Amino acid sequence: MKARARLQVCALALALCAGAASPGWTQSPPAPSEARATLEQLLEHSERGHPEAQTRLAKRYATGDGVLPDFERAVELYRKAADSGHPEAQNQLGRHLDAGLGTPQDTAAALDWFGKAAAQGNPAHVFDYATVLEKAAGDDPDRQAKALATYARAAEMGHVPALTSLGVLYQQGTGTEVDYEAAARYFEKAVAAGDARALNNLGLLYVRGHGVEQDYDRAAQLFLAAAEAGIRAAMRNLAVMYENGFGVEQDDQQHAFWLAKAREGQSATDMPVAFSFDAAIATPDLATQADIDRLRQTAISGDPVAQFQMGWLLLSAKEARFATLDEARYWFEKAAARGHGAAMANLALFHAQGLTVPQNYERAYAWASAALATGRKDQEALLQWLSARMPRVQITAAQERAKSLWQPAAPYRPME
């Protein structure tokens, strides 16, 4: 197909999926009996010094599973279990040290714990070790070679993302000579095993004819598959292909569509969650003003369910002005003080967005943490979004603030 004169194939180079996969750590599968272990049992066995219980309890504090998120407590427990030789605890302790969550950031100590975990033979732990080795290697060729060798070890153990990371290192000449044919082989293996990151990277090789015969049609197919799997770099690459008619019919609408898809959620104002109603309670029948007045009186009497419903009614008003939204926040605060999880979740968004109050990520994080502790799993995404925009010291302060906010929910009392 005829490409436009302005085509710059090198623009695709900016959309390479990097080798290190540090933003998305590999998760080891939970033990089969983990779901049956209650918090009380974990606390009891942890106090007795059982490494497995300490590790499971630490994970709960790290993720806010049934408890308030508390990275410092998680690190304390992971360290106890890691000192006993527990591989998952060693790996998790390495993660916290590498990120500086709940403990001062210490790359050297993180590598030490990652190495100890990897030595016990879990492919996911070997991959995590390689990821941090690569990140810490800088321009040191010996360290780069060690990272490559560690990725190779993980790949030999059947770890699919390690195949993609190996391909990237060969493609870039990191820790080895540039070898496009080796990169293509590793990407092909990873694609066959279902790795979306490899789809995009293999597509780039076909665009450039590196290690494979140049084939725009094949590249476009690979970019499309990766884009549909959610890889933003592939969305941008596919947009370039549509803009210039490479491997596809030139199409300005498809170009704009995939560019927009790539940008979704990238704005600082794009929250990963939205205001939400409490699915555990019935929507009140508010057909008349008298119904609304009764709801308000019930809310004034202290019923947290009615307080939440009053807040939701005001928040959902078609033309909600500042005073209306501020009253909605007032009722959510009342319900949250009684332990209402959905009210806490909505309050987190008020503070995250700066809606009727000054924008405050620390307060937003605290309310989201409290909501998560009540079982609102959707708050995990908001906490991750906030964490990416907060310094470590602020996250620690927010977790301390959450301890003063969280309390068990008040008993449900039906509206009369």
169 with 308, same domain: the answer is: no
Do the domain assignments include residue 415?
Answer: no
pLDDT band at 288 (very low <50, low <70, confident <90, very high): confident
Q: Quick one: 185 and 48 in the same domain?
A: yes
Residues 355 and 340 sit within 8 Å (Cβ to Cβ): no
Of residues 12 and 150, which shows the higher confidence score? 150
Domain annotation covers residue 5: no
Going by C-beta distance under 8 Å and a sequence separation of 6 or more, which residues neighbour residue 382? 271, 272, 273, 345, 348, 349, 352, 364, 368
Q: Which two three-digit tokens encode residue 166?
A: 């190996």
CA distance 319 to 348: 22
Say which CATH number the domain at 157 has: 1.25.40.10
pLDDT on residue 302: 93
142 shares its domain with 177: yes
pLDDT digits (tens, 9 = 90+) for 15-51: 555 555 433 333 333 433 444 578 899 999 999 999 9
Whether 330 maps to a domain, the answer reads yes
CB 15 within 8 A of CB 233: yes
Domain span holding position 298: 289-405
Q: Which of 49-53, 143-147, 284-288, 389-393 has the lowest mean pLDDT?
A: 284-288
* Average pLDDT value over all residues in the chain: 87
- Alpha-carbon Rg of the chain, whole angstroms? 25
Q: What is the pLDDT of residues 353-375, one digit of tens each?
A: 888 888 899 999 999 999 999 99
Angle between helices 216-228 and 196-208 (to 10 degrees): 160
| The pLDDT of residue 412 | 43
Q: Taking residues 373-389, what's their average pLDDT?
A: 92
pTM to 2 decimal places? 0.75
Rounded Cα–Cα distance for residues 213 and 313 (Å):
61
Do residues 115 and 89 touch, judged by C-beta distance below 8 A? no
Do 374 and 335 sit in the same domain of this protein? yes
Q: What is the Cα–Cα distance from 203 to 209, expressed in whole angstroms? A: 10
With contact defined as beta carbons under 8 Å apart, do 172 and 178 qualify? yes
Q: Last residue of a domain, which of 263, 281, 307?
A: 263
**Model confidence band, residue 53 (pLDDT cutoffs 50, 70, 90):** very high
Q: Is residue 412 part of a domain?
A: no
Q: Per the structure, how many domains does the chain have?
A: 2
Confidence (pLDDT) at 27: 39
Amino acid at residue number 55: T
User: Please, what's the b/e burial string for 149-171 (b: 16 or more CB within 10 A of its CB; e: otherwise)?
Assistant: ebbbbbbeeebbbbbbbbbbbbb
267 CB-near residues (< 8 Å, 6+ apart)? none
- 221 with 207: CB under 8 angstroms? no
- Residue 177 sits in the same domain as residue 232: yes
- In sequence order, the 6+-apart residues with CB closer than 8 A to the CB of 109 are 97
pLDDT, position 407: 59
Shared domain check, 296 and 245: no
- pLDDT value of residue 25: 37
Residue 180 falls inside a structural domain = yes
Average pLDDT of span 42-61: 95
- What's the rounded Cα separation, in Å, for the pair 199 and 69? 36
Question: Do 136 and 186 lie in a common domain?
Answer: yes
DSSP state of 339: T
Assign 52 a pLDDT band (cuts: 50, 70, 90): very high
Tokens read off for 13: 């180079």
H helical segments located in 231-321: 232-244, 252-263, 289-300, 304-315
Is 162 contained in some domain?
yes
| CA dist., res. 68 & res. 74, Å (int) | 11
Closest CA to 59 of 23, 84, 35, 83: 35
- Over range 167-177, report the average pLDDT: 94
What DSSP element (H or E) covers 219? Answer: helix 216-228
